[in-house]
A and B are shown apart, each in its own frame.
Chain A
Amino acid sequence: MERLKVLVLEDDKLAQKIMASRLADHDVAVAGDLKTALKKLESEPFDIGFFDLMLGPDDDYSGLKAIAAAAAKGVHAVVVSSSDSDEIIDRAYELGARDFYAKGNEDANVADILRKVTQARRSAAAPDVFASAFITGDAALKADVGEALKYAPTDLPIMLLGPSGTGKTSLARVLHERSGREGAFVAINCSAYTEDLLEAELFGYRKGAFTGAADSRKGRLLEAHKGTLFLDEIGTMSANMQMKLLKAIEERSFHPLGSDKPERSDFRIISATLEDPQDLIARGRMRFDLFQRVHGYTVNLRPLADRPADIFLLAQHFMKGGRRLSFTAEAKKAMEAYAWPGNVRELKKFVDLLASGQEGRVGLEAVKKLLKGGARAEAPRGGPLDALYADALKRGLEAALESVSDELVIRNLNENGGKRTKTLADLKISTRLLYATMKRRGLDSQGD
C-alpha cells in the first residue's frame, strides 16, 4: 500500500499507541493537544488527519478547531471520538470532516479509511476511465458509471443491468481495479453451468466428492478472497443455488463439496443480469433476500443503438494500434440506423472484419453486407414517459395507466416480502385497488 502522511490528534496515551500501531505502515505524527496539531498542520503536508474531539476531561471539544484547519489544507479529516451525539457529528461535518467514527472499532475503520484515501488518490492520477477502460461519450451513462466509481473502494455490492454485449464485464473489471482490493477479479457466467457444475465451480470440491473429481479444486468464492466476485447472469441461477449463495454471502463462509471443513472468503460481489431484477422477483425467479444482498448500487447499461455517439467512438478505439478505416457518410448513416442486437461485442466483430478486408474506405455496400439484421425499430425515444405515451396511444390511456399502477403495486409488495398491510400504507392505496391488482396478476389474495 502507498505510504501516507498521517496526523493523529489524541490526548490519551493508550489511544495514541493504538493509532500508531494501526498506522505502522505510514508516516505518522502524533499531537497530544490542539496547539501542537495546528502547528504541525501549518508546517507539514498531511494526507489524512485522525482527530479526537475532547482533549482532556475538562476540554470543550477543542479538537473541532483542528478539523477546519485540516480541511483548509486539503487534508482528509477523520473524527475518531467517543462524542458521537448528532449535534457534534453535524458540527464536525460542517467544519469539513470527511468521515466520523465512534471510538472502539479502529481495526476495521482505520483500514477502510486508508483504502478509501489511497484509492481516491490513485483514481485522481489515473487516465480518464471513459477514454480508456470503459469507452463512452454518452452523458447519462458517464454520470451513472461515475457515480458507481465512487463506490468502487467500498464493500458495497454493485449490480449491472443491461443486454448482452453492453460492457458489463468490462465495467465490473474497472470497478475492481479501482476498488483497492488486493485480491483477484474472478468472473463467472452463471448461465454457462448446470446447477451441479455451478455449485462445484463456486464452492470448489474435494477429491472424490463426486464421480470425476480426481483432484481437489478451489472454488471461485475462495479465488476471490480479498478481491471481487463477478456473477454474470445471476438471474439464471436456480432457487436452490441462490439459497446456497445467499448463505455464503451472509456468513462469508461455505463448505466445498465433499468437505466438512468450512472455508472463509472475504469477497466483494458485483453481479449482472440481462433482465429486470424486479421482474425476476415478481416471477419468482430471483429470491428477494438475495437481491437485497447484491443490489447495493445499480448501473443501467443501455443498448448501443440507444447511444449512437458511442458507435464511432468505440469503432475508433477498436482500430487503435491497427489498420485505420474511414467510413463514407452513407456507411455511417447505415451504422447509426442499425439495431446492433449484439451491442458492443457485435460492433467489435464488425470492425475486426472490416479491418481485415480489402478496402480501407468503407462504403454502404460493405456495411450492408456485414450488418444483415434489420434497422433499429422506431421505438419511443428516450425515457419511460415516451414509452408510456406510445402504450397509451396503442391500448388507450386507462389500460396504459393500469399497467403502470400494477407494476408499482407488485414491486412494493415484493419489497415488503408480500406484506399487504405495509403496501397499503406505503402506497396509500385502497384495499380494493390492491386486491384488483393481485387478481389481474394472478396472485393469491388470501392472508397477509
Chain B
Amino acid sequence: MNSDVSKLLHDLRSKCSSLKSAAELFKDCSAAERKEMLALMNAAAGEITKTLEALTKAL
C-alpha cells in the first residue's frame, strides 16, 4: 500500500471515529451545543465523502 493511500485511510478512520463519538455525545448536549455539533458533524461527513472519493481515485 502506498503512503498516499495509508494517509487517506488514516484520515478516514480518524474522521469516522470523531463522527461516531459525536453521535454518542449528542444526546447529552444542550440545544445550542447540538446546533454547533450538527454543523461540525455535517462538515466532517462532507470531508469523509471527499476522502472516499480521493481513495477511489488513488486505487
Contact = CB atoms under 8 A, between A and B. Distances in A.
Contact of B18 (A12, A54, A107): A12
B25 A103 contact: no
Interface string A238-269: 00000000000000000000000000000000
B43 A13 contact: yes
B9 to A, nearest CB: 9
Nearest to A12: B18
Contacts of A81: 14
Interface in A100-132: 103-104, 106-107
A196 B20 CA distance: 46
A217 to B, nearest CB: 33
A329 interface: no
Interface string B33-59: 100110011011000000000000000
Contact of B40 (A17, A58, A82, A83): A17
Given A13-B43, A17-B37, A54 B21 contact: no
B10 A82 contact: yes
Contacts of B29: 21
Contact of A103 (B18, B28, B33, B44): B18
A18 B43 CA distance: 14
Interface extent on A, as a size class? 10 to 19
A57 interface: yes
Contacts of B14: 12, 15, 52, 54, 81-82, 103
Interface residues of B, number: 24
Interface string A46-83: 00000010100110000000000000000000000111
A14 B19 contact: yes
Contacts of A82: 10, 13-14, 17
Nearest to A19: B21
Contacts of A22: 25
B10 A54 contact: yes
Contact of A104 (B10, B21, B44): B21
Contacts of B25: 18, 21-22, 107
Nearest to B15: A12
Nearest to B45: A14
Given A18-B22, A57-B11, A82-B10, A103 B40 contact: no
Interface in A1-30: 12-15, 17-18, 21-22
Contacts of A58: 7
Contact of B22 (A17, A52, A83): A17
A52 B14 CA distance: 10
Contacts of B44: 12-14
B43 A17 contact: no
B49 to A, nearest CB: 14
Contact of A18 (B7, B13, B21): B21
Residue in B14, B19, B33 whose Cβ sees the most chain A Cβ within 10 Å? B14
Given A21-B25, A21-B29, A107-B24, A14 B18 contact: yes
Contacts of A103: 13-14, 17-18, 21
A24 to B, nearest CB: 10
B59 to A, nearest CB: 17
B43 A83 contact: no
Q: Among B13, B20, B21, B24, which residue has the most Cβ atoms of chain A within 10 A?
A: B21
A83 B13 CA distance: 9
A54 B13 CA distance: 12
B13 to A, nearest CB: 4
B10 A18 contact: no
A88 B11 CA distance: 16
- 10 pairs of A and B residues whose beta carbons are closest in the complex: A104-B17, A82-B14, A103-B17, A82-B13, A14-B40, A14-B18, A15-B18, A14-B44, A18-B21, A57-B11
Interface of A: 12-15, 17-18, 21-22, 52, 54, 57-58, 81-83, 103-104, 106-107
24 contacts: A12-B14, A13-B40, A14-B15, A14-B22, A14-B40, A15-B17, A17-B22, A17-B36, A18-B18, A18-B21, A18-B25, A21-B25, A54-B10, A54-B14, A57-B7, A58-B7, A81-B14, A83-B10, A103-B13, A103-B14, A103-B21, A104-B17, A104-B21, A107-B25
Given A14-B41, A103-B14, A107-B25, 7 more contacts: A14-B18, A15-B21, A17-B22, A54-B10, A57-B8, A103-B13, A107-B24
